[in-house]
Structure 1
Amino acid sequence: MQKFDVIVIGAGQAGIPLSKKFAQAGKKVALIEKRMIGGTCINDGCSPTKTMVASARVAYLVKNGAKWGANPKNFELDYSTVLERKNAIVKSFRNGAIKGLEKEKNITVFMGEGYFEAAHHIKIDTKEETIDIEGELIFINTGCSPTIPNIEGIKTTSYLTSTTIMELEEVPTHLIIIGGGYIALEFGQMMSRFGAKVTILEKSDTLLPHEDDDVCVAITDIFKSENIEIHTSAEVIAVSGKNEKTVSTTIKGKKRDFTGSHILVAAGRSPQTKNLKLSFAGINTNDRGFIEVDEHLKTTQKNIYALGDVKGGPAFTHIAYNDYVILADNLLKNGSKTTKGRLVPYCMFTDPQLGRIGITEGEAKKQKLNYKVAKLEMKYVARALETGETKGYMKAIVDAGTKLILGASIIGEQGGEIMSVLQMAMMGNITYEQIRSNIFAHPLFSESLNNLFMSLDE
């Protein structure tokens, strides 16, 4: 039995910095990773997808260059270069993470699958052997993987996930996407811009069912303007086929089949807890398999914590990283940070982007708040007109009494960056009146935050 002060299961965007921080504090650390150092974000999440999204945007701009007076001639997509660029960036990020761990003398990295034998006893199945280790402090950062719904024929029909679609060596002829959430939309627009015909099937009444209706309408209109086929209220009942795939649905009570070259299943993500044998450690999960934690990220077992997607809640890399910040501060500096009330920004990297922070208008209504809505379409934003990026709008929810910002939805070029400006305002309790009278550099997208809040009563 090897003994450690700290055991971290999962070398993702929380597990790596946490391991390093404890190692630098003089603790003997074991870091367990069953697949690849860097976790989902570096290997098949944020880094590769956003790299490919960037290539798709350039392809779109080139094909539509006449709008800016740059007439394209003989446009041709070199998809092999797209993949090479993506793979090079992923390799660079992963190698950077590996080198960072190698510099820490107090970290032992185990490449294998870790699971509980008892509360503080972990077994690791490597390619060569099974290793037993013990640790006083244990952190679980195993993340999530694509959910595969129980659809008739799914086990005998080949399909793609958000991971495997990036391994294709050619662009699909016709991609049928099951799901209409953030992942589905990023891949849908990307592949459409690479030249695929794309059909999106969403079971809810709208795309992005967790967003305000006007967000759903705007994104739907943008996608339809790019000839992406969208069907909502579409219940997938079966899939079939080998070379040619068929997706059978019912849409508002009527049966309809869709035929394409590839199927992408983008129906959410599930926690990677099944093989951890959490019951052996007395760690509770909810009915979906997510680890139950309190506001300090403690599980139901003493000195065992969970970080990132595996604990449920907002499934974003930056939330996992903030989980690390909370635990490092609390356990190494006697801090008192919690997850309670923290702001959760996020961005969907479609083009234009959707940047979100705080509450939606729907949530404000549900909470019966005294609020106002400021809204400005991008076609009235000077910078948007100058750059030819006029799709979308800026929208902010403000408290009518305190005049503080409660939330924002930005659909537009640099939507995430504009959202971040409003996030900083929320953190600093800056009122919309202060933003309205602030001096921004001209001409920036953020400058039109002046105009956004001019839409409210003086």
Structure 2
Amino acid sequence: MLCSFALSRSCPSMAASHRERFDELPNTSRDARAMSQTFDAIIIGAGQAGPPLAGRLTAAGWKVALVERKLIGGTCVNTGCMPTKALVASAYAAHLARRQDLGVIVGDVRVDMKAVAARARKVADDARERNEQWLGKMKGLTLLRGHARLTGPSQVEVDGVALTAPHIFLNVGGRASVPDMPGVGDVPHLDNTDMVALDSLPDHLVVVGGSYIGLEFAQMYARFGAKVTIVERGERLIAREDPEISDAIRAFVEAEGITVRTDADCIGFKPHPSGVIVTVACRNGEPEVVGSHVLLAVGRRPNTDDLGLDAAGVATDERGYIKVDDRLATSVPGIWALGDCNGRGAFTHTAYNDFEIVAANLLDGADRRLGQRIPGYALYTDPPLGRAGMTETEARAKGHDVLVSSRPMSRVGRAVEKGETLGLMKVVADRATRHILGAAILGTSGDEAIHGILDAMSAGEPVDTLRWAVPVHPTVSELIPTLLLGLDQGSA
């Protein structure tokens, strides 16, 4: 699943227990009205950009207010990266235990979903607790719990308390989007937040949306033992990837028993005694699927609708994302937007890099810009997909004369040794400049191996520099120089 870092809703019991812990933080006053109302900076949102920015600013002597209305750490810590990857690890363990081709034979493999969910919850709770302890010891920081709204270009109101500062940083994240599909309001449905809290196994999980979040949950729950169907409106899964990547992903999820329904041109929902009827197709295939549970994984939306942006004059686009320039400044001087809410990245690492850009420019006299960032991300299916830069389709659309090379993972010794040869490597370069434009590694350790290419791209090095690197054997990365050779020789 994509790792976003939005401020997501949580169950009331978690929120209540968090409030109790939050009140115990040493730099948090129980009487907000007794605190000073003037700061050097106000940060709204304690996701992945907010706390480290607070750390840099307070270390520089700034007086900072950090406002959080829900859970410290945002989605990544609480309902995104950390709990979902903990679930992925449990699903992988179940899958590995069932394999018999490695010569290790075990008995009946059972999955204790309550134990699985408890482990994921503990991973998230521990991470949040560490963040709270760090913030609680941060000198110069005032933590406020409540709903912040802009009331002017330098004013913020937090549950009736007025705060002012010449610098305001918006790190409010996003949440799951509920599409306007027929009947969606008439049936129970889950989003990613609900899924990480689920401690029972669905009989039949219908995943609406065949992209990053949907694919991760689909595979993990199939491995836990649920029947799973993916319903995707488009003609192929994970449509932003090149077709051969999409085809390879579809092949391995179907090989695990997951039903994939693409070209679903008639998606709608109706109640059923066993759960929910999901209408899929109006022309071809079975028209309906009956699921016990439905996961909506069809995109995200920014948490900007109740932020008071109009009162401050902060401009947004048609989807509600805050418009920023290449240095993350909004349309209002003194206000910046970081993370999911600016629409310039939907990942923990891009949010953190937003913080780095802003801090470097404000405190270090640097001139760091979004345009210098090479996009990279991973899909945490098994095998995972590591991505850097542009796809071949994107590169051609931008007018590049491209060189392309690909190799199957069956050519990687490390993959053969592990018995995990699904997937492929692919790299795209510009013929004239010989700079790498993008790459994909779909295969075992692809999420790690992609960094060799990502680092070369970030350093602005041409293909020939990385071609002469000497990677360690046996690793997945050792095939990268051979992959690059294929740019001049053609794929083989």
Measure the CA separation in 2 of the matches of 1:378 and 1:255: 35
Measure the CA separation in 1 of the matches of 2:282 and 2:232: 10
Shift of 1:305: 0.5
Measure the CA separation in 1 of the matches of 2:79 and 2:393: 33
Aligned to 1:69: 103
Aligned to 1:285: 316
The residue identity in structure 1 corresponding to 2:360 is D
Aligned to 1:89: 123
1:342 to 358, 373, 383: 373
Aligned to 2:144: 110
Aligned to 1:52: 87
Measure the CA separation in 2 of the matches of 1:194 and 1:296: 44
Shift of 1:228: 0.6
Residue 161 of structure 1 contacts residue 264 of structure 1 at CA under 8 Å; is this kept in 2? yes
1:364 to 379, 395, 414: 395
Shift of 1:429: 3.5
Shift of 1:252: 4.7
Aligned to 2:423: 392
Aligned to 2:200: 170
2:50 to 15, 18, 23: 15
Shift of 1:170: 0.5
Alignment deviations for residues 343-378 of structure 1 (CA, whole Å, 9 cap, x no partner): 011001000001100111101221231221111101
2:225 to 195, 198, 210: 195
Report whether the alignment pairs 1:6 with 2:6: no
Alignment deviations for residues 236-266 of structure 1 (CA, whole Å, 9 cap, x no partner): 5421226521111325567711101000000
Measure the CA separation in 2 of the matches of 1:76 and 1:45: 25
2:155 to 106, 121, 128: 121
Worse overlay, 394-403 or 189-198: 394-403
Report whether the alignment pairs 1:314 with 2:345: yes
Report whether the alignment pairs 1:161 with 2:191: yes
Residue 174 of structure 1 contacts residue 261 of structure 1 at CA under 8 Å; is this kept in 2? yes
Measure the CA separation in 2 of the matches of 1:173 and 1:146: 23
Aligned to 1:413: 444
Measure the CA separation in 1 of the matches of 2:465 and 2:165: 51
Measure the CA separation in 1 of the matches of 2:374 and 2:442: 19
Aligned to 1:146: 176
Of Structure 1 and Structure 2, which has the larger fraction of its residues in strand?
1
Measure the CA separation in 1 of the matches of 2:267 and 2:478: 48
Q: Comparing both chains, which one has the higher relative contact order based on Cα–Cα distances under 8 Å and sequence gaps of 6 or more? A: 2
Q: CA RMSD in A?
A: 1.5
List alignment gaps of at least 5 residues for structure 2: 1-35
Measure the CA separation in 2 of the matches of 1:156 and 1:427: 48
Shift of 1:283: 0.5
What pairs up with 1:181-220 in 2 under 5 angstroms? 181-220=211-250
Q: Rate the CA distance shift 1:37–1:402 in 2: closer, same or farther, 3 A.
A: same
Task: Give the alignment's TM-score, normalised by structure 2.
Answer: 0.89
Report whether the alignment pairs 1:39 with 2:74: yes
Alignment deviations for residues 167-195 of structure 1 (CA, whole Å, 9 cap, x no partner): 11201110001111100001110111111
Measure the CA separation in 1 of the matches of 2:168 and 2:290: 48
List alignment gaps of at least 5 residues for structure 1: none
Worse overlay, 378-387 or 76-85: 76-85
Shift of 1:432: 3.0
Aligned to 1:355: 386
Worse overlay, 440-449 or 41-50: 440-449
Shift of 1:449: 1.4
Shift of 1:281: 0.4
Report whether the alignment pairs 1:440 with 2:474: no
SS of the residue 2:469 aligns to: coil
Q: Rate the CA distance shift 1:251–1:200 in 2: closer, same or farther, 3 A.
A: farther
